[in-house]
Structure 1
């Protein structure tokens, strides 16, 4: 199969998470993260920033086991992209006020904060630096690092401004997975779906960063839970599924044809096309709404 890059306007849609206590999670995602409830049912809630589209959807499994970190293939973290640095500073101040443990890193292309929800679902909250400031090595890999963040500078950005939750313009920027086999994952996401490798760190740190349209990454793949890591248990917390949003019918049909010729079972449900990657991580393809 000759790889054809996925359409450059491809983005991520909402992330669906399994949680063990919906009310507890709602308090966390509203008070700590800064999302708002869009809809709520007995065991499901949609969270939003704009009151129109869901960003994160919570599904309660009251008997769920909380999956220990780095114990299975599945979610490492999902990443919420804020529109500007001031918004990240405001989020940082609120996270500090909440008393939650905060990880942090300056990735050169972005500044990132890391937290976990009450069910161990990893969350990154970040802002991008302008794309024209990104640099690349001789192999064309975007240069990323894990330098200390400018904590004081971020808080300075927020001075004099109230925190009112995450602002309109916030999106799911990327998602990062533990996978059981990096090569098989590369074949699925790059050779079949068409994501481009933007940073190949497989030899140095067991990770690949892939994207559409030259972004620093829409999807991260790593084997940090161990090569051959088992799929996350169905009745455990973690990712239920995530959405990949493609911009046109022609692109959708190209991807579906590649999946079927690659031997992947695809099912349609409510105008989404459901498939599982080689690590049994479920994604749903959907068309951009007009």
Structure 2
């Protein structure tokens, strides 16, 4: 007779249809069908933050509850904004959000959103980069939360080394050339209806080694690349990265204070694939795990709240 744990292992193995880049057994990994869910931000001025995401980035309300709002594209939640009075903004060197990265399907849709954001407030544009696997544009919202807007290159163009690491770099991307090449009137006109998803979430942490122990060994991501002791990139299913952690501004910092800024990071797993195994791994490592209406809640070593849940069909952009 098979046990419930056996069924969980079978489900996880069935979902992980890629070759493990780390060589770890698939039942120790998060499922290949994983997607990132919305990122929740805490603010003392919901209307100001909401206005920026709606007017600059073309997001629309997916759900509202009093002053709180969930914004997204094509019905897919991307950013939750919650009222949090009496808190201060985090310092630049504290653990927390580095940026939330919004992924687009088409270059024209990315160009239209960048064009809208620059027209709305060009002072919030902070740079653009060719990362070999993707092309990205960076902004800061009115609470100084980082935002990346990006599009992936086809997976066939990603270069993987014999060590199982994907080649990534930071090369200047001329923003004006990108817009001249890809911006169309049609994309501008349908700004608020084109699809997008949270492609990855990048965090500030105190040290990369501890981050790898939690996000890779315990949670079940695989390392896709690293920059020495300064940055770590991890994913499920052979994506270039679903999450990243760096110490560029935060080396040695401890757990986060209760501040404005990052509230929670949602991670969505396919229905019946890997949530129970992730819970077992986390509990086995001594983590405090709680089942709530939102999903499986756990905090990383820097007190960042992660919410793992299941969806029958993960919503959002399917990575190419």
Question: Residue 39 of structure 2 corresponds to which residue in structure 1?
Answer: 15
- Distance in 1 between the 2:120 and 2:185 partners? 19
1:160 equivalent to 2:182? Answer no
Aligned equivalent of 1:77, options 82, 99, 118: 99
- Distance in 1 between the 2:273 and 2:166 partners? 29
Change (3 A) 1:167 1:108: farther
- Distance in 2 between the 1:120 and 1:81 partners? 20
**Residue by residue, what CA displacement relative to the aligned partner does 1:64-102 show, whole Å, maximum 9, x if unpaired?**
312232x21111111000111111111222122123331
Aligned equivalent of 1:254, options 277, 281, 292: 277
Instruction: Give the secondary-structure state (helix, strand or coil) at the position aligned to 2:308.
Output: strand
How many residue pairs match? The answer is 284
150-159 or 239-248: bigger deviation? 150-159
Aligned equivalent of 2:133, options 93, 109, 124: 109
Question: Residue 260 of structure 2 corresponds to which residue in structure 1?
Answer: 237
- CA contact 1:244–1:285 (8 Å) conserved in 2: yes
**Residue by residue, what CA displacement relative to the aligned partner does 1:181-215 show, whole Å, maximum 9, x if unpaired?**
21121111111121111112224xx1010001111
- Distance in 2 between the 1:250 and 1:123 partners? 30
159-168 or 76-85: bigger deviation? 159-168
Question: Residue 90 of structure 2 corresponds to which residue in structure 1?
Answer: 67
1:96 equivalent to 2:118? Answer yes
Instruction: Give the secondary-structure state (helix, strand or coil) at the position aligned to 2:47.
Output: helix
**Residue by residue, what CA displacement relative to the aligned partner does 1:152-191 show, whole Å, maximum 9, x if unpaired?**
3321211433344354330000000111221121111111
- CA contact 1:86–1:154 (8 Å) conserved in 2: no
Question: Residue 21 of structure 2 corresponds to which residue in structure 1?
Answer: none
- Distance in 2 between the 1:281 and 1:172 partners? 17
Change (3 A) 1:82 1:65: same
List aligned pairs for 1:143-154, cutoff 5 A. 143-154=167-178
RMSD, aligned α-carbons:
1.7
- Distance in 2 between the 1:65 and 1:104 partners? 29
Question: Residue 46 of structure 1 corresponds to which residue in structure 2?
Answer: 70
Instruction: Give the secondary-structure state (helix, strand or coil) at the position aligned to 2:185.
Output: coil
Question: Residue 142 of structure 1 corresponds to which residue in structure 2?
Answer: 166
User: Which ranges of structure 2 fall in alignment gaps of 5 or more residues?
Assistant: 1-23, 314-320
How far is 1:35 from its partner?
A: 0.3
Instruction: Give the secondary-structure state (helix, strand or coil) at the position aligned to 2:69.
Output: strand
Aligned equivalent of 1:171, options 197, 204, 209: 197
- CA contact 2:57–2:114 (8 Å) conserved in 1: no
- Distance in 2 between the 1:166 and 1:214 partners? 30
TM-score (norm. length: structure 1): 0.92
Change (3 A) 1:83 1:166: farther
Question: Residue 86 of structure 1 corresponds to which residue in structure 2?
Answer: 108
- CA contact 1:67–1:120 (8 Å) conserved in 2: no
- CA contact 1:20–1:119 (8 Å) conserved in 2: no
- Distance in 2 between the 1:120 and 1:57 partners? 16
How far is 1:137 from its partner?
A: 3.4
- CA contact 1:113–1:124 (8 Å) conserved in 2: yes
Change (3 A) 1:159 1:251: closer
1:193 equivalent to 2:219? Answer yes
- Distance in 2 between the 1:92 and 1:173 partners? 16
Change (3 A) 1:147 1:283: same
User: Which ranges of structure 1 fall in alignment gaps of 5 or more residues?
Assistant: none
